[in-house]
A and B are shown apart, each in its own frame.
Chain A
Amino acid sequence: MSFDVPDDCRYLESHEWVRLEDGAARIGVSDFAQDELGDVVFVELPAAGDELSRDEDFGVVESIKAVSDVYAPISGTVTAVNEALENEPELLNEDPYGEGWLVEVEPADEDELDELLSPEAYRDQIE
């Protein structure tokens, strides 16, 4: 099985992605991760204004069979939360890099992005 690993994202070993768009960093979980989790039924996320610290857990994604913490690829302040996931958590399965994103943050230090896995390195990890 091959999983979608977009070239415009960077990745954490724990399967979160981050994409920089107009200075804001959008964060989600990878196609591989959503497949491993199975049917997502519940997502718990921080609130706008909360601070995320790199590599620390900031929320929970639950599927029918498992509970998973999600980790912050970069540090920053939450500027937006994907509220659609509250009623449609399955968006995370259906469109993990699009409609199923988790939060947007204002990065504390954009240089942190350079320390994340490149798409190539992440593809190697999940192969």
Chain B
Amino acid sequence: MSRETPLHAAHDAAGATFTDFGGWDMPVEFDSIRTEHAAVREACGRFDVSHMGEVVISGADAERLTQRLTTNDATALDPGEAHYAAATREDGVMLDDTVVYRLPEATDGEFLLVPNAGHDEEAVDRWEEYADEQGFDVSVDNRTAEYGLIALQGPDAPDLLADETDLDVDDMGRFEVTEGTVAGVDALVATTGYTGEAGFELFVPWNETGAVWDAFDVQRCGLGARDTLRLEMGFLLSGQDFDPEDEPRTPYEAGIDFVVKLDTEFVGRDALEQQYEEGPDEELVGLELIDRGVPREGYEVTTPDGEHLGHVTSGTMSPTLGDPIALAYLPSEYTSPDEIVRVVVRGEPKKARTSVPPFLNR
């Protein structure tokens, strides 16, 4: 039985199509991916991302624990700041990616992690076990069922939110989090998102998610548009562009070097330091098809002579650019832009060139 967000019935009534995603029955599409995608790039769209996990870490050793289990430098975060990070295992392979929020002072908790859909329990287990091993004084609370999460994304998002909140949203920089009210509901308001646009993520009490959702009369967007928006930015999709079992990749291979702070102590640091010094054998690159066709997940990538190089992990026709784009792990000699390769589309080798993501400048 799939989990449902507090807005499931509202999405159904709005005519959404649904799919299982990380154990949640989630809306894929309301109107059309093209319409939803364009709304976010040009105006504003709203997403129900209540399937994302919320794990709150508190206690005397909250910072030490967060530091040890994420690759970024948790000690660098002041209250009200956030950053993107990877959770790695001993060999440097990414288990998940997450935004780490250092909660504003006076909030009930120290750090908030947002694991991907279906990864909340696994995150809690891992954090509790590691804390026990180390004798850390922390408490790890899974609040996934307590928080609804709405993403408001697009150039108009700040003005729209300003009308519904007591916060001065113009004062907020990127990757900040603060407490305020939205549509009269107590919320954590964060200037984060996964579309490349200005926008907000609103953590609200589960039972009041509907009131906040309804306060914004802008395009409803599903997972389909989120996928095309994030891919244009070259943002990774957990379980697809990396996965500890099916696509074991380190942050260096996945091209998110900026989340790795080798001068801090974390699980997987030694393995990553070695990879940093030697350079990864394979790295994630962008591909732009020159021939006609659409690259899709799993399609083989070869040299012009047909020699195997790798496979596409994410691919689509970019709604903004009108061009076919993809991500693929290729041997490191193919990571510079404008290398010519082939993507095998249903048996046909199609000419493509490598590029450095993002595909869209924002």
Bound-state Cα–Cα, A76 to B281, Å: 52
- In contact, A62 and B294 (Cβ under 8 angstroms): yes
Q: Which residue of B lies closest to A62 (CB)?
A: B294
Query: Separation in Å of the A97 CB from the closest CB of chain B?
Result: 19
Chain B residues within CB distance 8 Å of chain A: 15, 28-29, 32-34, 224, 228, 292-294, 296, 316-317, 319, 324, 346
Query: Separation in Å of the A76 CB from the closest CB of chain B?
Result: 24
What sequence of 0s and 1s flags, for each residue 37-77 of chain A, a beta carbon within 8 Å of any chain B beta carbon?
01101101000000000000000101011010000000000
- In contact, A67 and B28 (Cβ under 8 angstroms): no
Known contacts A64-B228, A64-B319; A39 and B346 CB within 8 A of each other: no
- In contact, A39 and B296 (Cβ under 8 angstroms): no
- In contact, A38 and B294 (Cβ under 8 angstroms): no
Bound-state Cα–Cα, A62 to B315, Å: 12
Bound-state Cα–Cα, A37 to B267, Å: 44
Across the interface, which residues of B come within 8 angstroms of A64, CB to CB?
33-34, 224, 228, 316-317, 319
Bound-state Cα–Cα, A104 to B362, Å: 44
- In contact, B33 and A38 (Cβ under 8 angstroms): yes
Across the interface, which residues of A come within 8 angstroms of B34, CB to CB?
39, 64
Across the interface, which residues of A come within 8 angstroms of B317, CB to CB?
41-42, 62, 64
Apart from the given pairs A65-B29, A65-B224, 11 other A-B contacts in the complex at a CB distance below 8 Å? A1-B15, A38-B33, A39-B32, A39-B319, A42-B292, A60-B346, A62-B294, A62-B317, A64-B34, A64-B319, A67-B296
Across the interface, which residues of A come within 8 angstroms of B293, CB to CB?
42, 44
Bound-state Cα–Cα, A12 to B210, Å: 42
Across the interface, which residues of B come within 8 angstroms of A41, CB to CB?
294, 317
- In contact, B33 and A42 (Cβ under 8 angstroms): no
Number of A-B contacts (CB under 8 A): 37
Bound-state Cα–Cα, A42 to B224, Å: 17
Query: Separation in Å of the A66 CB from the closest CB of chain B?
Result: 9
Bound-state Cα–Cα, A65 to B314, Å: 11
Q: How many residues of A contact B (CB 8 A)?
A: 13
Bound-state Cα–Cα, A42 to B295, Å: 11
Query: Separation in Å of the B350 CB from the closest CB of chain A?
Result: 11
Selected from B15, B29, B33, B294, the residue in CB contact (under 8 A) with A67 is: B294
Bound-state Cα–Cα, A86 to B322, Å: 13
24 contacts between A and B (CB under 8 A): A1-B15, A38-B224, A39-B34, A39-B319, A41-B294, A41-B317, A42-B292, A42-B293, A42-B324, A44-B293, A60-B346, A62-B294, A62-B317, A64-B33, A64-B34, A64-B224, A64-B228, A64-B317, A64-B319, A65-B28, A65-B224, A67-B294, A67-B296, A67-B346
Known contacts A64-B224, A65-B224, A67-B296; A38 and B32 CB within 8 A of each other: yes
Query: Separation in Å of the B348 CB from the closest CB of chain A?
Result: 9
Q: Which residue of B lies closest to A69 (CB)?
A: B346
Query: Separation in Å of the B320 CB from the closest CB of chain A?
Result: 12
Known contacts A64-B228, A64-B319; A39 and B294 CB within 8 A of each other: no
Most buried by A among B29, B294, B319: B294
Bound-state Cα–Cα, A92 to B282, Å: 40
Bound-state Cα–Cα, A41 to B324, Å: 9
Bound-state Cα–Cα, A74 to B319, Å: 34
